[in-house]
Amino acid sequence: VPTICVPDADTAAALADLKSIDPELRILVWDSVGPMPDGIDQVEFYVPPYVGRVTSAEDLGRMPALKVLQVLTAGVERWLPMVGEGVIICNGRGIHGAGTAELALAGILNHLRELPRFAAAQQRAEWDSEFTAGLRGRRVLILGAGDIGTHLAAALEVFGAKVTLVARRPRDGIRGMDELSELLPTSQIVTIALPNTPETSGLVDAKFLAAMPDGALLVNVARGPLVVTEALLVELSAQRLYAFLDVFETEPLPSDHPLWRAPNVVMTPHIGGGSVGWERVATELVVDQVRHFLRGEPLANVVSDGY
Ligand SMILES: NC(=O)c1ccc[n+]([C@@H]2O[C@H](COP(=O)([O-])OP(=O)(O)OC[C@H]3O[C@@H](n4cnc5c(N)ncnc54)[C@H](OP(=O)(O)O)[C@@H]3O)[C@@H](O)[C@H]2O)c1
């Protein structure tokens, strides 16, 4: 009996039609908090919740029949060490990319159009009509040419920014990481949209930041460990660089962390991918993937090389 386990009743309801493929299909619901449902030891296809308690390695150990782990996040670094070679991990690529690119765009525009300055002036009932910078002609480097990177590039180009995308495999219109030392000094905005892997962790270190020009903006909407926070704090404290950060080495960011009081930084609490409506896209992905699974077709979003 093919057994699927999903995190909520709505997703389970969306899968009900797939009984036309296999009438024996069994759908379990487990939110990863309450007691595990009967039949968990038969689960072949498991979807953990996007938010809330993280399913542990011990929990997964109670699913010896597991064949597919379909997570709803784009990043899979936490899951990789938890499953054996025989389990296929599929990520949530496509669920959060547009929303996260949108947040990066908001951070970039907030910086360039100086919205905090106008909000402060508004509080004082002051007509502070000094013009600001904008995107036209601005050089933006985006590290990562995947779901986030390509959405962000398209949005920035609408307003005339000069965008350069960088990825692991250089290809038409996409540069390689070996060109970073040339690209960084001429980029006024650098956005990190890379997965957290052994190759990318700590990439944005003191040397990387030193190569960025004075007054440049670093945007990190990917994962905290890609940026060496200590090194970034040095540049922020000197007020040489600016940053927009949605992700942090430690989350939640501890209340005594120096970033809270650092100058030149705007932060959001890892909300990039979680804008209203993400659930619908997630459910569509899960239904498609379970359909492929039941029909023995190739799955989408299969993780290889750590992302
Ligand atoms: N803030 C949030 O809420 C939020 C939401 C979604 C995602 N994220 C994070 O953002 C990451 C990226 O998301 P995505 O959906 O855009 O992923 P994606 O579609 O898989 O794209 C990843 C991109 O990174 C490139 N890349 C991977 N390893 C690299 C390396 N060592 N050097 C250079 N480039 C490398 C890939 O290159 P190729 O094109 O050559 O494969 C690809 O272009 C996720 O892994 C996740 O951790 C955060």
- Probe target for ligand 1 pocket from 78, 194, 226, with the most ligand atoms within 8 Å of CB: 194
Whole-number Å distance, alpha carbon 123 to ligand 1 midpoint, is: 39
Rounded mean pLDDT of the chain?
A: 97
In the prediction, which pLDDT does 256 show?
98
What residue's CA is closest to ligand 1, atom 29? 168
Ranges of beta strands (E only) in the chain are 3-6, 26-29, 45-46, 68-70, 88-90, 139-143, 162-167, 174-176, 189-192, 217-220, 242-245, 265-267
According to DSSP, the residues that pair with 218 across neighbouring strands are: 190, 243
| Contacts with 127 (C-beta within 8 Å, 6 or more apart), sequence order | 121
**For the residues 70-93, what does the mean pLDDT come to?**
96
What residue's CA is closest to ligand 1, atom 42? 146
Beta strand pairing status for 189-192 and 139-143?
Answer: parallel
- pLDDT-derived band at 52 (thresholds 50, 70, 90) equals confident
The CA distance from 86 to 69, in Å, is 11
8-state DSSP, 171: B
Closest atom, ligand 1, to C-alpha of 272 = 3
- Contact by Cβ (8 Å): 4, 26: yes
In the prediction, which pLDDT does 162 show?
98
Residues annotated as catalytic are 223, 251, 270
What residue's CA is closest to ligand 1, atom 19? 146
202-251: pLDDT as tens digits: 999 999 999 999 999 999 999 999 999 999 999 999 999 999 999 999 99
Instruction: Tell me which residues have their CB closer than 6 angstroms to ligand 1.
Output: 74-75, 93, 96-97, 100, 144-149, 167-169, 177, 193-197, 199-200, 221-223, 246-247, 270, 272-273, 307
Whole-number Å distance, alpha carbon 281 to ligand 1 midpoint, is: 19
Smallest CA-to-CA distance from 203 within 141, 111, 273 is with 141
- pLDDT-derived band at 294 (thresholds 50, 70, 90) equals very high
Residue 92 scores a pLDDT above 90: yes
- Contact by Cβ (8 Å): 132, 114: yes
Ranges of beta strands (E only) in 194-241 are 217-220
The CA distance from 192 to 148, in Å, is 9
61-78: pLDDT as tens digits: 999 999 999 999 999 999
Total-model pTM: 0.97
**For the residues 187-203, what does the mean pLDDT come to?**
98
Which pair of structure tokens corresponds to residue 149?
A: 């990177």
Residue 111 scores a pLDDT above 90: yes
The CA distance from 143 to 178, in Å, is 12
Whole-number Å distance, alpha carbon 20 to ligand 1 midpoint, is: 36
**For the residues 129-138, what does the mean pLDDT come to?**
97
Residue 254 scores a pLDDT above 90: yes
In the prediction, which pLDDT does 301 show?
98
Q: Which residue has the tokens 């993280």?
A: 54
Residue 264 scores a pLDDT above 90: yes
Whole-number Å distance, alpha carbon 76 to ligand 1 midpoint, is: 10
Closest atom, ligand 1, to C-alpha of 170 = 40
- Contact by Cβ (8 Å): 302, 89: yes
Closest atom, ligand 1, to C-alpha of 93 = 15
Whole-number Å distance, alpha carbon 167 to ligand 1 midpoint, is: 9
8-state DSSP, 227: B
